[in-house]
Amino acid sequence: QQLMKVFVTRRIPHEGMRVLTESGLCKVSLWDSDEPIPRADLLQRVSGVHGILCLLSDRIDTEVINAAGPNLKVISTLSVGFDHLATDEIKKRGIRVGYTPDVLTDATAELTVALLLATARRIPEGVEEVKNGGWSSWKPLWLCGYGLSGSTVGVIGLGRIGLAIARRLKPFGVKRLLYSGRTPKSQAVEVGAEFVSLDQLVSESDFIVVSCALTPETQGLCNKAFFSKMKKTAIFVNTSRGAVVNQEDLYEALSSGQIAAAGLDVTTPEPLPTDHPLLKLKNCVILPHIGSATYSTRGIMAELSANNLLAGLTGTAMPSELTL
């Protein structure tokens, strides 16, 4: 019997490759690079495959699905986000989708707390001053920032990751936790978070953390009107998807003093060009999308995405299937 063919669009942690090769179920073809596969190569390499293991940076749309052809049974993404997949088309064709929720929740929540504190306490600025000789003496008014103790934190999207962020921030002495979203969440009780309108969250929070999925409803949600309602002393943090934010409006809010500072782990585009205006601002801390980047988390994500792929090939239950 002929082995089923799978294509892996990038080098992934060895844990994932091991699951695929040791299964004896498929013939694995790999884009053996740390850099994204060019579109033309992707279209060529997926031809005839039964399964694709892809990343966030691979746009899997109708063109790719057509290029794969009728064998394609399963798409497994090494991410919890799935805004890069043409879900309507995938559903129409009865292709199954695997993703990696839960296993990256802790790592992403930790990174969010780190970014929030780094932004609020101006850590990158301080590090830079030490290096460039700006540290001349101890100065009472120098490099002051904002603390979490006694503050109001607003989480936009209290899903798995949003809740994990709230759990971690609470012990810093946060006075009020607010959250907004489509519907109230029963798990909010655990952290004592109040469900409020987006407007109320924006105007009352000292720290705003964006942790929602990118959907047509959330695209550009953080825009001029949003930033204009924030407190001048408030900190904005986004570790979800760059496109939730209108970056021109954020630049305006940061450079005009409309808001205090922003910490971003996600941008549009990614990577952000090195001459991007946001990179010139001291009050904007930007990271290269490293929310889930711990050795163990990435290993577990790779293993899970490989197991999802195999289940899709064999028509069995996936450890983490996306219901379309």
Nearer to ligand 8YV, 79 or 180 (CB): 79
Rounded Cα distance, 304 and 310, in Å: 10
Residues engaged in binding ligand 8YV (CB under 6 A): 55-56, 78-81, 104, 289, 291-292
Q: Is the dihedral of CA 246, 247, 252, 258 positive or negative?
A: positive
Per DSSP, helices labelled H in the chain are 14-23, 39-45, 62-68, 87-92, 105-120, 123-132, 160-169, 188-191, 198-204, 224-229, 247-255, 295-314
Nearer to ligand 8YV, 61 or 190 (CB): 61
Nearer to ligand 8YV, 121 or 160 (CB): 160
User: In the structure encoding, which two tokens stand for residue 231, read together?
Assistant: 């407190």
In the complex, least distance from residue 145 CB atom to ligand 8YV, rounded to whole angstroms: 27
Of the listed 14, 84, 276, 289, which one is catalytic? 289
Contact assessment for residue 208 and residue 261, using Cβ atoms and an 8 Å cutoff:
no
In the complex, least distance from residue 186 CB atom to ligand 8YV, rounded to whole angstroms: 24
Q: What Å distances lie between residue 139 and 143, 255, 272, CA to CA? A: 9, 24, 34
In the complex, least distance from residue 155 CB atom to ligand 8YV, rounded to whole angstroms: 17
In the complex, least distance from residue 148 CB atom to ligand 8YV, rounded to whole angstroms: 24
User: In the structure encoding, which two tokens stand for residue 283, read together?
Assistant: 């009050």
Beta strands at 261-264 and 74-77: parallel, antiparallel or unpaired: unpaired
Nearer to ligand 8YV, 112 or 180 (CB): 112
Nearer to ligand 8YV, 4 or 80 (CB): 80
User: In the structure encoding, which two tokens stand for residue 1, read together?
Assistant: 């019997």
In the complex, least distance from residue 55 CB atom to ligand 8YV, rounded to whole angstroms: 4
Rounded-to-5 percentages of helix, strand, coil across the chain: 40, 15, 45
Confirm whether 289 is a catalytic residue.
Answer: yes
Which residues are designated catalytic? 289
